Chain A
Amino acid sequence: MNTAVAGHPSGPVSKLVWAAVAVVGAICLGVVALRRGEPVNAIWLLAAALSVFAIGYRFYSKLIADKVLRLDATRATPAVLRNDGLDYVPTEKWIVYGHHFAAIAGAGPLVGPVLAAQMGYLPGTLWILFGVVFAGAVQDFMILGLSLRRDGRSLGHMLRAELGPAAGVVCMIGVLVLMMIVLAVLALVVVKALAISPWGTFTVAATIPIAIFMGLYLRFFRPGRVLEVSIIGLVLLLFSIWFGGKVAADPTWGPMFTFNAAQLAWLVIGYGFFASVLPVWLLLAPRDYLSTFLKIGTIALLAIAIVFTMPQLQMPAVTKFIDGTGPVFAGNLFPFLFITIACGAVSGWHSIIASGTTPKLLANEREARLVGYGGMLTEAFVAIMALIAACALHPGVYFAMNSPGAIIGTDVQAAATAISQWGFVVTPDQLTQVAKEIGESTILSRAGGAPTLAVGMAQLLHQILPGEGMLAFWYHYAILFEALFILTTVDAGTRVGRFMIQELVGLAVPSLQKTESWAANIIGSAICVAIWGYFLYSGAVDPLGGINTLWPLFGIANQMLAAIALILCAVVVVKLKREKYFWVPAVPACWLVICTLAAGWQKLFDAKIGFPAAASKYANGIAQNKLIAPAKTMEEMQRIVTNNNVDAALTGLFMLLVVAAVAFGVNAMLKARRQAKPSANEEPYVALASVATS
């Protein structure tokens, strides 16, 4: 097979090398898992992760490639068969890998692990390592493989063809709802990071004129010179970080960029609307370029920083919050750890990318292994680094930043007392000192992952490049980097959501389907922004902080889509009469179905963390005219009731979609088993050698 280039794939030397990797991995994992009482160095974790990934890639992805998907190096891919030089282009595998990774890696793998750190570093680490090897990378790889055999068709198309039209509708609704929740929760991360932070707000706002400048430059001055303009943009961006510090310190300008969460939510909503309505070349595309550039660069920087500084993990391996009493998100380790870390371990969203552009670029089927499986392992590596950055922080600082004000209070004295009582001893001075070092007025209750990661990253980068005031620079650099690519997701997502809504509503009102029409465009964008904007705004004014409600919803939705994608893979395996390997997609599919349904069930029926329970508690309060903390007014009480009811309805919808997908999947499998011959809808075999290379 194609690994033969590396010498004798199963020769004695290779066997020795892999045995060594396995031993090193086992030792590192042992240190990470078993050492108690003294801090563990992050290098152990990093080495354990790399060994697990290497072994997973070498052995498990090979099994999937050879036995489950039976990738065939002699078979022509869609890129070769339908080569049009534009959408279908045979491309060098490392370029496809880079392209695929840039498309799948977003803010998700950075936020989830940071939130999950409240349970200690061990649960999150283990779930990322084993989740990615047996679920996440399997999903990405198999969907890519299926799409390769089906002309590069999308997930929705494949579901319709293999499971029937109703399954296609389930998927379409699931994707639309997931998208709205993703946009709301990611926008909320930005809002939480920028609230009462004039420095951060200024630098993020500055990206808008910078992007417009880049757009105009690319359109009129130097068309198509995209690398050049991105470098100019990057320099302007770094300048704006430095300048943001001056603006924030200025007595007149500083207050002009100081907003609370509700105001910022409105600004982001307005921004999302305009970015979706304006021509892409003016704002959306250049910002996307800038953010991709910054994203890849920062991930590399983070890796270098961790390797060079070799930080100690200050967070314990396991905290007492595995019992479900944690302040960052509510719920027990099972199922909520597996919901909180979605991206990085397994992310349903990737099934859309893996059945989008990527299958139209691969020149050879065998390369899907590197791109699909390898690409997802790389994302898991990013998640591990985010976890390290969060756990290298002082746990007191971590909990101060991630707990809602309703639990730890709103001043450093109260926060330090509350957190020290949990066993993470921290003084008010320490909390004030950290805020001062990063150039902010407070670090309390900045949930959402971004600020925590920013402080963690800033402390690492500061050790490499020290200097007066550099900590504040790095902090705002990290905030900018996350805000930038989250807002790019918001722009692009609103636009995609708008197209989906136009298509859906257009079934009733055909004139709305015209994506070129300004009126249809504005109406579609307004509906889309209104939906995610509702969740964003309610999260921003939620006295409990919003993230701890919205993030689990997002996790459930993302895992739901992953479950649907893996069910599709399992159905195809049965249809191809390869039942011997049914477990490869079926085990992770079952696990995700169990996790999503268990989490959904608790969110609906648990007396402590359930949405309806919370709604009725506050509704009773309203009936008795009694205020319940953290609400301060009757209006807030009413808002909590409404939000919880909406969230409960959504949870119920997700559970229904999962159950429906399982039913369609089982039905399709039973039908396929009754047939004597393979019945999957693959395109016919065409030999690669028979297609003229051009």
Chain B
Amino acid sequence: MKPARALPDTAPPERDLRALWRRAVSAGRRIFFSIPDYDAYIAHLRAHHPERAVPSYEQFFSERQAARYKGGGGRCC
């Protein structure tokens, strides 16, 4: 996804559906693939670390994928 879609929540109705879809996709990523919410991360970066570069979703994804299998926990039997 491109950074352009980081719009505020108060959007016209057709955006509501898209926002809902994005939330569902994000929930699915968290549940099935353990990938955190990208939008929330960007919002966090903007708010707390404005000096840092904002990664693209692709960069974010591959960093998180690698981090998930770094050790610890694993899967249950």
> A residues touching B (Cβ–Cβ < 8 Å)?
83-87, 89, 91-92, 95, 98-99, 102-108, 154, 179, 182, 186, 219, 223-224, 226-227, 230, 280-281, 284-285, 288-289, 292-293, 296, 343, 347, 349-350, 352-353, 356-357, 488-489, 492-493, 495-496, 499-500, 515, 554, 558, 694
Contacts and interface: CB of A to CB of B under 8 A. Distances in A.
A227 B28 contact: yes
Closest 10 CB pairs of A and B: A224-B61, A85-B41, A85-B44, A98-B31, A223-B58, A108-B77, A496-B74, A499-B71, A356-B73, A280-B69
B65 A495 contact: no
Looking at chain B's contact residues, the main secondary structure is helix
Contacts, number: 131
B32 A89 contact: no
B32 A230 contact: yes
Contacts of B31: 95, 98-99, 102, 296
Contact of B62 (A86, A154, A223, A500): A223
Contacts of A99: 30-31, 34
A275 to B, nearest CB: 11
B30 A488 contact: no
B35 A154 contact: no
A150 B75 CA distance: 23
Contact of A496 (B41, B43, B71): B71
B73 A558 contact: no
A104 B65 contact: no
Contacts of B29: 226-227
B33 A292 contact: yes
Given A89-B37, A99-B30, A219 B69 contact: no
Contacts of A83: 44
Interface residues of B, number: 39
Contact of B75 (A84, A86, A106): A106
A343 B75 CA distance: 13
Interface in B11-57: 25, 27-37, 40-45, 47-48, 57
Contact of B30 (A95, A107, A230, A499): A95
Contact of B77 (A227, A280, A347): A347
Given A91-B30, A347-B77, A86 B35 contact: no
Contacts of B42: 85
Contacts of A226: 29, 32-33, 35, 61
Given A102-B32, A292-B33, A499-B71, A281 B77 contact: no
B34 A495 contact: no
7 contacts: A95-B30, A106-B76, A227-B28, A281-B66, A343-B76, A353-B76, A554-B77
A391 B66 CA distance: 42
